[in-house]
Structure 1
Amino acid sequence: MKKKLLLILATFGFVFGLSAQQLTPDQMISDLTVFKEALEAKHPEMYRYTSKEEYELLFELVKKGMNHEMTVREFYLSMAPLVSALHCGHTKWILAGKDMYYQFYEDNLFPLKLYFDMDQAFVLGHFAGKEVPISAELISINDRPIGEIIDLIKQNSSFGDGFSEGGKYYQLNHYFPALYSTNFGIAEEYVVEIKIDGEIQKLSFSGISLNQIKTDSPENQGDEGPFQFEIKERNVAWLDIDRFFAYPSEPDFKKFLKNSFTQINENPVDDLVIDLRGNEGGNENWGIELYKYIAKEPFRYYERISVKQKQKVDFESKTSTLFKLATLFNKNGKYGKEFTVQKGLKKQKPYKIAYGGRVYLLLDGQSFSVTTEFASRAKSDGRVTIIGSETAGGYAMNTSGFFSIVTLPNSKIDLGIPLLGFHMENLTDVNPMDRGILPDYPVEVTVQDIIGKTDPIMDFSLELIKKPKFIISQPAL
């Protein structure tokens, strides 16, 4: 274990001398101490995936490296092994007041849109619309091999529970200019090596601004709303839920579900598809509400919700008043303090109009939090066939709900600590407990699919539905 931790730290070591000095060793060690004390006082599952002994070793190795002045970004990256070792996708590590992705730079950003497929990257376009060789494989950026870039960013990534890989690739595919700039800095000019038609070429591009990237982003290109329902041909009902929360001007979720499942009951629906790709989560009760429409028998959603015993600390933190009031009802349980104000801890009954037929669930690397709680319950109970790719959220549990924000006094980096550990009830062993939710039918999305704007996961789902049902009972490995 020690050799592995030393290797991680050595990988991050290159950032220590990049720019102007700002933080002294004493300031960094002070922030490091607050960081650890805050996690130990508030995070209910801090040592779930990395033991206390392993974490202590990593902590001392990080501390030992703080023997010279660093910039805030260098300090941020030197702490990255401690954040990623938690394997908690909800723990936030963000420079106070900054965009959660573009924390350090907003100009001279990497200009190419890329698609990542394992250890390869392919060109999709240019954020500012300049002509580029579409679908060419990217070999290197400023003489650094793309495989090395991917490995470092993945090591630094904390978006995902347990040992899930799904969320890391989703982040690469959607926020690469931000991740690259944080880890490697920026340049006025980017020299890239690409492979096209078997030949290696070198191309040069100027950096672009964050405004140019955001202008090109999907969220600025129209929105059909967070919830969609339709009945397709062959009696297939399709429920598309982009997120488990809504703004005041948007449809009421409970009414939407009731209307959708009323239509399903009133029509000859043979198969239901629930599309939760890209759904990062939201309100826990909404996941429970959705499951009540497909459950076949009464169920408990959560086994328990862990929470830390209140402790006196010497640093300031921002925590919801509602959480403080709710903790008045905490109790001592088998594993320690438990949070009790959640309806998912009580037995729930399916709705009378609950759908009892075949259900197909579509997931991807952005499926997280509430989304994976729902998927976990449905997969464990055998209510769904899952299609797509591994989720960022964990199968067995996640830490989320309320948060406490601790701003480190010298670096001014916000440490966002989730305060509740949601353990799913009575899970079966159909999925590894320390991974994201794995699909029954993994479907690869290629660069050609992205360029052609095709949806192979939707296409596969509809083709699967057409097959004789005895074939569907034999999932692909």
Structure 2
Amino acid sequence: MKKTILLLLVLLVLMSCRSVKKHNEQITKLHDVISLHEDIDKIYEQLKRHHPKLYQYTSKEVLDFKFDSLKNTIKTPIDSREFYRKLAPVVSQVKQGHISLSSANKWYTKRERKKLLKRKFEFYALDFEYLENKLWVKNTRGKDSTIVGSEVVKIEEDLVSDLIDVYKTRFSSDGYNTTLHNRYVGRHFSNFYYNDKGFVDSLKVTFKNKDSLFVKTFRREQKPKKSKKQDSTKAIKPKKLTSAEKKVNRLAFKKKRKFNRKHGFIKKRKEYTRNFGFIKKAKDVAYIKLRSFTNGNYKKFYKESFAKLDSARTKYLILDLRDNGGGRIAEIDYLYSYLAKESYKFIEDSEVNSRVPFLKFLMSNTTSNSLKILSGIVSPIIVVQNLIRTRKRDGKLYYRFRHTKIKTPRPLRFKGDMYVLINGNSFSASSLISTHLKATKRATFVGEETGGAYNGTVAGIYKIYELPNTRLKIRMGMMQIEAPQKQEPDGYGVKPDIEISPTINDRRLEKDSELEWILNDIEEKG
């Protein structure tokens, strides 16, 4: 039995190594023109088959022309990365923000990954922001903090301004919105650079601080090993804890773990997804910062937060949704139940292209074989559930979520005045809840137009499809998620009542001009 298990493990390792080698050969070789044209046809076919709002912002005639033109421009063999550079701008013409195309990057064996984990590359520890048509180092999780606040001028021989112009063509917002482009390209600049250039061991970067240029070379370096005490006999032995002390430590650990889960602790950045506090000692102004609607136990956070607001009889609530890229519909529906003034319907039935959308989502060519087998076993249940929830109306298919039911606000709902902070990176779910708050005149909005559309977005569940020849992957939403409220013209985000955009000088002075406006407005109201 042991020999059989050992043999199976060896075979799995060998198969894994072969698949890594095969993948890397596939993405680096030059693909013939016929294969490239086949992948273009495949990706457009997948979009037409699964995306319910493919022609919402760009007509069929225009998209047909874009994809045909791309085929006509490819007349010589190219590798997968070059194909990504050509294909991404065409896919972005769909103008649906949840569609993304990933470049074909190198795979690594388990041994190679383990070796890479022992090395650090400080360039990827930098946080960037794009302000006033320039790329700035906003923060660093590395050791060199002297470059924070500097402008990034060149990377190797490429002008950053040229890179930014190119990267902006490789993704889109929902519709015709433009604020997302500047916010998103800065926030995700490292990812764009990696998709463009691939793995590198060193980068020469030219920075500008005030009027001075300087160059810093980032290298992939070995992480420092933990120092060992040379003389173990002199090492201080840890104090032996009593049973009572051990119990106190266990309880403290459990308490901290619950707190981290409730607030959505982000280990990599050592910060929380959900944050609550009072700005004034009198507790008449509260501030909730939500970085996303994803990780953690959100119900406990909102229950406790709104109980505190009710107990303190707070007059003003500031909801900060800047740089919130979205997340769970269930969470924003739950949050809105504490903010709504009257009964509401959170979303409409979702337009889909299939009666069994969840089965289509599970049975993709990127789904692991084990998950496909499991999905096949439970498929009768999935199919029945999908058929019960899917209905045809006016020649279109619609899927009904539980969030389409009429709901009433919670007893502890906040009844005071609200302000909402938004910017171009307020996307998806954060735009959806903003639509409700804006349409019902529940809050004063301060900042920039949201990157997500007022009239909804195609998201919900996602199809990830890998192109057969070049191995590029496309990710697309499969459900139109929208609030009952609509605005004209279509294709724009939730717009602020008070438009304020941060400046370079604000960042240098560590000044939050949007938040300051709100606090001054509250002060004037007395």
- Which TM class, normalised by the smaller chain length? 0.7 to 0.9
Using the alignment, how far apart are the partners of 1:323 and 1:450 within structure 2?
A: 50
Kindly indicate whether residue 374 of structure 2 is the aligned counterpart of residue 374 of structure 1.
Answer: no
Q: Secondary structure at the match of 2:309?
A: helix
Structure 1 position 392, deviation (Å) = 2.4
From the superposition, tell whether residues 345 and 170 of structure 1 become closer, same or farther in structure 2 (CA, over 3 Å).
Answer: same
Match of 1:76 in 2: 84
3-state SS of the aligned residue for 2:345?
A: coil
Amino acid at match of 2:409: P
Deviation of residue 136 (structure 1)? 5.0
Query: C-alpha displacement at 1:89, in angstroms?
Result: 1.8
1:164 pairs with 2:177: yes
Report the TM-score, using the length of structure 1 for normalisation. Answer: 0.78
**Structure 1: runs of 5+ lacking an equivalent:** 1-18, 100-104, 213-217, 470-477
1:335 Cα deviation from its structure 2 partner: 5.9
**2:506 equivalent to 1:461:** no
Shift of 1:39: 0.8
Q: Is the contact between residue 272 and residue 358 of structure 1 (CA under 8 Å) also seen in structure 2?
A: yes
Residues 115 and 277 (structure 1), Cα distance of their counterparts in 2 relative to 1, 3 Å cut: closer
SS of alignment partner, residue 53 of structure 2 = coil
- Counterpart contact for 1:108–1:206, Cα < 8 Å: no
Q: Which amino acid aligns with 1:50?
A: T
Q: For residues 204 and 389 of structure 1, do their structure 2 counterparts lie closer, same or farther at Cα, with a shift above 3 Å needed?
A: same
Identity %, equivalent residues: 23
What is the one-letter code of the residue matched to 2:496? P
**Aligned pair in 2 of structure 1 residues 131, 274: CA closer, same or farther (>3 Å)?**
closer
SS in 2 for 1:405: strand
Give the superposition deviation at 1:331: 0.8
- For the residues of structure 2 that align with 1:163 and 1:223, how far apart are their CA atoms? 33
Bigger shift: residues 405-414 or 146-155: 146-155
Contact 2:364 2:464 in 1 (8 A): no
Using a 3 Å threshold, how does the CA distance of structure 1 residues 335 and 281 change in structure 2: closer, same or farther? farther
Structure 1 residues 237-246 or 321-330, which shifts more?
321-330
CA deviation after TM superposition for structure 1 residue 396, in Å: 0.7
Which of 241, 246, 270 in structure 2 is aligned with 1:222? Answer: 270
Question: Can you list the C-alpha shifts for 1:365-391, whole angstroms capped at 9, x where unaligned?
Answer: 332221111111111111111122232
Structure 1 residues 382-391 or 33-42, which shifts more? 382-391
Q: Pick from 271, 274, 290 the counterpart of residue 316 of structure 2.
A: 271
Say which of 152, 155, 162 aligns to 2:166: 152
- 1-side partners of 2:279 and 2:313: how far apart? 11
CA offset digits 1:86-125 (Å, max 9, x no partner)? 22221232247879xxxxx999996876432142234557
Residues 39 and 325 (structure 1), Cα distance of their counterparts in 2 relative to 1, 3 Å cut: farther
Whether the 8 Å contact between 2:324 and 2:426 is mirrored in structure 1 is yes
Paired residue for 2:215? Answer: 204
Q: Is the 8 A contact 2:122 2:142 kept in 1?
A: no
- The offset of 1:242, in angstroms, is 2.6
Q: Where do residues 1-400 of structure 1 align in structure 2 (5 Å cutoff)?
A: 21-95=29-103, 114-122=128-136, 129=143, 135-141=149-155, 144-158=158-172, 160-183=173-196, 190=204, 192=206, 194=208, 196-197=210-211, 201=213, 203-209=214-220, 220-224=268-272, 226-233=273-280, 234=282, 235-247=284-296, 251=297, 253-309=298-354, 316=365, 318=367, 324=383, 326-328=385-387, 329-334=389-394, 336-340=396-400, 342-400=401-459
- Note the C-alpha offset of 1:255: 2.9
Structure 2 residue identity aligned to 1:262: A
Question: What's the offset of the Cα at 1:285?
Answer: 1.8
Q: What corresponds to 1:435 in structure 2?
A: 492
- State the Cα distance separating 1:161 from its structure 2 match: 1.5
Mapped partners of 1:127, 1:145: distance in 2: 24
Q: Structure 1 residues 324, 162: closer, same or farther in 2, change over 3 A?
A: farther
SS at match of 2:339: coil
- The code of the aligned residue for 1:176 comes to F
| Contact 2:103/2:195, CA 8 A, preserved across alignment | no
Amino acid at match of 1:447: I
Deviation at 1:336, TM superposition (A): 1.0
Deviates more, 1:373-382 or 1:443-452: 443-452
State whether residues 150 and 207 of structure 2, in contact with CA within 8 Å, keep that contact through their aligned partners in structure 1: no
Distance in 1, Cα, partners of 2:347 & 2:138: 42
What amino acid is the match of 2:183?
Answer: Y
Kept after mapping to 1: 8 A contact 2:327/2:428: yes
1:253-277, CA deviations, whole angstroms, 9 ceiling, x for partnerless residues? 2232222222222222111111222
Q: Distance in 2 between matches of 1:125 and 1:259?
A: 32
Bigger fraction of residues in helix:
2
Distance 1:275 1:211, change over 3 A: farther
Amino acid at match of 1:40: K
> Quick one: distance in 1 between partners of 2:103 and 2:382?
24
AA matched with 2:134: Q
Relative to structure 1, is the Cα distance of residues 463 and 59 closer, same or farther in structure 2, using a 3 angstrom cutoff? same
CA distance in structure 2 between the aligned counterparts of 1:172 and 1:454, rounded to whole angstroms: 22
Deviates more, 1:230-239 or 1:115-124: 115-124
| Range that drifts further, 309-318 or 377-386 | 309-318
SS at match of 1:79: helix
- The Cα shift of 1:38 comes to 0.8
Alignment: residue pair count: 429
Cα deviation for residue 65 of structure 1 reads 2.0
C-alpha offsets along residues 157-190 of structure 1, whole Å, 9 cap, x if unaligned? 23x2122233322333223233234346769553
Q: Assess if the C-alpha contact under 8 Å between 1:89 and 1:161 holds in 2.
A: yes
Q: Is residue 280–residue 371 contact of structure 1 (8 Å, CA) maintained in 2?
A: yes
Cα distance between partner residues in 1 of 2:106 and 2:434: 32
Check 1:256–1:145 CA distance in 2 against 1; reply closer, same or farther (3 A cut): closer
Q: For residues 428 and 222 of structure 2, what CA distance do their matches in structure 1 show?
A: 29
The letter for the 2-side match of 1:436 is G
Instruction: Indicate how the Cα distance of structure 1 residues 236 and 55 shifts in structure 2: closer, same or farther if over 3 A, else same.
Output: same
Are the counterparts in 2 of residues 109 and 181 from structure 1 also a CA contact under 8 Å? no
Closer/same/farther in 2, CA of residues 138 and 244 from structure 1, 3 Å limit: closer
TM-superposed deviation, 1:67: 1.7
SS, match of residue 303 in structure 1? coil
How far apart, in 2, do the equivalents of 1:364 and 1:163 lie?
Answer: 15
Distance (whole Å) between structure 2 residues aligned to residue 440 and residue 171 of structure 1: 22
